[in-house]
Chains A and B, each alone.
Chain A
Amino acid sequence: MTQLQGAAPIVVLRGVWKTYRLGSLPVHALRDVSLALRAGDLVAIMGASGSGKSTLMNVIGCLDLPDRGSYLLEREDVRSLSERQLASVRNGKIGFVFQGFNLIARTPALENVELPLVYAGVGRRQRRRRATEALEQVGLGDRLRNQMTELSGGQQQRVAIARALVTNPTMLLADEPTGALDSETSRSVLGLFSRINAEGRTVVLITHDEDVAACAKRVVHLLDGSIVGDERRAALDDPPPALAPPVALHGSAG
């Protein structure tokens, strides 16, 4: 990905509302959210539980549609897409990483990573090659045949990241990616995200954890469904903070 493309906004949310019903009470999970994310950025969307950050991730990830407002993903109006097209968008443009890994049980790592390519209709041989590359990229080149039960939490999350990367998506969308990991494993997974970003891929981290946000170049704060803060901590073209000299990392890790 070149710096030129890096300047163009890939996600543009304008006046997005999302309302759920809890019994007879409407709950506004998102209130008039407007947000633009640029290619090549490493963004953390922060907020406490109930702030609407998961809803925002669902909307950005095309798992859910906004009730009001517009969402353009690479200039395409997501609200006008059919269910079929949405599935294709999720498959090709977005790579999800979840807190609970969400890998398919009793299935080897390689096949888990291949799965998005299976759904994309990629041929068997090419699939195998790309999935192997993705696993090598996350440092699991020697764990292709392992079942999920044979892998540690950190390794499972790496498999999930490989699965998210394998389709070469527009952005990686990670929901509390370190929520189920110990601090050391968390650091190594965050390092992986930083490296992926340094290679030019857009990464969006949804988290409540300041340690996670410390890796981001830009931090967006959500509160009660509205954006209450938006700070840039590193320039878009700069390397991610976690890859900056160790002094800076120590400073933020406390």
Chain B
Amino acid sequence: MNVLDSVRIALRAIRANRLRSGLTMLGLAIGVGAVILLVALGNGAQRAINKQLEDLGTNTLTVFPRGVIGPNKGTQSRPPKLSLDDVAALQRRGPAAGIRRVVPVITPSATMVWNGTSYSPQVLAGTTPLYLATQNFAVARGRLFDETDDRERRRVMLVGQTVIRKLFGGESPIGQRVAVNGSRFEVIGVLASRGGGPVDQDDLVVAPLGAVESNLTGANPDLGSILVQATSRSTIPLAQRTIRSTLLDTHHITDVNDADFDIFNQSMILEVANKTTAILTLLLAGVAGISLLVGGIGVMNIMLVTVSERTREIGIRKAIGAQRSQIIGQFLLEALVLSGLGGLIGVVGGVGLGSLGTKAFQPAVSLTSVIVAFSVSVLVGLFFGLYPANRAAALRPIDALRYE
């Protein structure tokens, strides 16, 4: 009796009870599919976070006036402010103190009007050309602004994809003149999309600091934030210490607890988020693994029912000379075929669903999860099929034949 014969006998028995076999397979299919899908979701989340990490610019720290992020304890003698003087002070510290670039950002609230439509972007950043490089912004069409634009206070700007949709109705805005709080700015470029995440990163307008200063805020404005790029990843802590001591100094604050600014290490937070997601993925996989186990118990349940329902058949088989091992083989193989087919259905379903996704979020199916989930389902079938198979084989032929 070769394996092929056994497979044929097992398939026949499974086909004989289509509904029951189907339901059993469904249990395992859901388990396997859930493992693959949930791991894919977790992977997708991790990838999204990693992409954001890259997008944010490498080795970048952001300084905010206290109260923008986190609570303001209200112990300062004057309202927390960051100025171009702070930028200059930080620039003076230079690479020796871990600082490579310092980029001032002013974020006045702005309302843009074009062709009778008005729109207020989430962020209008008046900044230097370095901002775009530091934040890894790329231009989709048109051009970025440069030092000359900034120096000559040209009223030019770059717009994000969301702004194009909301203000320009999706048309190409390059060369268009837009009234920003009453001043006309020319659109010279379109920023490449950075996609979603918790915050729409495409709802953004970037203009040269000088032009924003002279047209929207007035001279020596309060800064919305200062971007500081450290010389390398390893000097981020040094840069952070430099920023703290320098700004405490320029703000004439002696006690660190009275600081009127916050230093925000975004990449660190995203790294934490990344770790959290990894743990979450494991957790999800664990939950899905339990459903896989439950599916396996389903297989055992069905196989036990099958054994008692087919006691007479087992008796016949033994009477005509089936060996104990052949009976075990038959029932084990039935369990294996059930779990294998169920696992296969789960793989197809899980990979299929895991390949769907929106532009904002794309799950990533991992080959490892597919292999592991499928192998586990087969092992589960083997393990939970063993007991029923042994019970079937242990039946004495006369008892089995007498069974009605």
- Whether B319 and A115, one on each chain, are in contact in the complex, defined by CB atoms closer than 8 angstroms, is no
Q: Chain A contacts of B110 at CB under 8 A? A: none
Do A120 and B321 contact each other (CB < 8 Å), given the known contacts A58-B398, A64-B398, A102-B312? yes
Q: How far is the CA of A121 from the CA of B3 in the complex (A)?
A: 11
Nearest CB of chain A from residue B243's CB, rounded to whole Å: 79
A contact face: mostly helix, strand, loop, or mixed: helix
- Whether B320 and A92, one on each chain, are in contact in the complex, defined by CB atoms closer than 8 angstroms, is no
Q: Any chain B CB within 8 A of the CB of A240?
A: no
Q: Any chain A CB within 8 A of the CB of B1?
A: yes
- Whether A104 and B313, one on each chain, are in contact in the complex, defined by CB atoms closer than 8 angstroms, is yes
- Whether B321 and A92, one on each chain, are in contact in the complex, defined by CB atoms closer than 8 angstroms, is yes
- Whether B1 and A63, one on each chain, are in contact in the complex, defined by CB atoms closer than 8 angstroms, is no
Q: Any chain B CB within 8 A of the CB of A106?
A: yes
Nearest chain B residue, comparing its CB with the CB of A123? B2
Q: How far is the CA of A118 from the CA of B9 in the complex (A)?
A: 10
Q: Any chain A CB within 8 A of the CB of B166?
A: no
Do A119 and B319 contact each other (CB < 8 Å), given the known contacts A64-B398, A83-B324, A107-B12? no
Point out the residue from B313, B320, B322 that lies within 8 Å of A96, measured CB to CB: B320
Do A116 and B401 contact each other (CB < 8 Å), given the known contacts A105-B16, A107-B12, A121-B1? no
Q: Chain A contacts of B315 at CB under 8 A? A: 102
Point out the residue from B4, B15, B312, B318 that lies within 8 Å of A87, measured CB to CB: B318
Q: Chain A contacts of B12 at CB under 8 A? A: 106-107, 111
Q: Chain A contacts of B321 at CB under 8 A? A: 87-92, 116, 119-120, 167
- Whether A118 and B16, one on each chain, are in contact in the complex, defined by CB atoms closer than 8 angstroms, is no
Q: Any chain B CB within 8 A of the CB of A250?
A: no
Q: Any chain A CB within 8 A of the CB of B317?
A: yes
Nearest CB of chain A from residue B318's CB, rounded to whole Å: 7
Q: How far is the CA of A90 from the CA of B401 in the complex (A)?
A: 14
Point out the residue from B5, B316, B319 that lies within 8 Å of A61, measured CB to CB: B319
Q: Chain A contacts of B323 at CB under 8 A? A: 84, 87-88, 119
Q: How far is the CA of A91 from the CA of B329 in the complex (A)?
A: 18
Point out the residue from B15, B312, B324, B398 that lies within 8 Å of A63, measured CB to CB: B398
Nearest CB of chain B from residue A60's CB, rounded to whole Å: 12
Interface residues of B in 283-321 (CB under 8 A from A): 312-313, 315-321
Q: Chain A contacts of B396 at CB under 8 A? A: 64
Q: Chain B contacts of A111 at CB under 8 A? A: 12
Q: How far is the CA of A120 from the CA of B322 in the complex (A)?
A: 8
Q: Any chain A CB within 8 A of the CB of B397?
A: yes
Q: How far is the CA of A163 from the CA of B316 in the complex (A)?
A: 11
> Interface range on chain B: under 10, 10 to 19, 20 to 34, or 35 or more?
20 to 34
Point out the residue from B316, B324, B326, B398 that lies within 8 Å of A104, measured CB to CB: B316
Point out the residue from A102, A118, A120, A163 that lies within 8 Å of B401, measured CB to CB: A102
Q: How far is the CA of A113 from the CA of B321 in the complex (A)?
A: 13
Nearest chain A residue, comparing its CB with the CB of B397? A63
B contact face: mostly helix, strand, loop, or mixed: helix
- Whether A91 and B1, one on each chain, are in contact in the complex, defined by CB atoms closer than 8 angstroms, is no
A-B contact count (CB 8 A): 67
Contact code string B143-186 (vs A, CB < 8 Å = 1, else 0)? 00000000000000000000000000000000000000000000
Q: Chain A contacts of B326 at CB under 8 A? A: 119
Q: How far is the CA of A58 from the CA of B318 in the complex (A)?
A: 13
Contact code string A81-103 (vs B, CB < 8 Å = 1, else 0)? 00110011111100010100011
- Whether A115 and B317, one on each chain, are in contact in the complex, defined by CB atoms closer than 8 angstroms, is yes
Nearest chain B residue, comparing its CB with the CB of A91? B321
Q: Chain A contacts of B401 at CB under 8 A? A: 63, 98, 102
Point out the residue from A83, A119, A124 that lies within 8 Å of B320, measured CB to CB: A119
Q: How far is the CA of A79 from the CA of B330 in the complex (A)?
A: 28
Q: How far is the CA of A200 from the CA of B232 in the complex (A)?
A: 98
- Whether B324 and A115, one on each chain, are in contact in the complex, defined by CB atoms closer than 8 angstroms, is no
Contact code string B99-142 (vs A, CB < 8 Å = 1, else 0)? 00000000000000000000000000000000000000000000
- Whether A102 and B318, one on each chain, are in contact in the complex, defined by CB atoms closer than 8 angstroms, is no
- Whether A119 and B322, one on each chain, are in contact in the complex, defined by CB atoms closer than 8 angstroms, is yes
Contact code string A45-89 (vs B, CB < 8 Å = 1, else 0)? 000000000000010010110000000000000000001100111
A-side residues, CB < 8 A to B, are 58, 61, 63-64, 83-84, 87-92, 96, 98, 102-107, 111, 115-116, 118-121, 124, 163, 167
The 9 closest A-B pairs by CB, nearest first: A91-B321, A106-B16, A116-B320, A102-B316, A90-B321, A119-B321, A119-B322, A63-B397, A87-B323
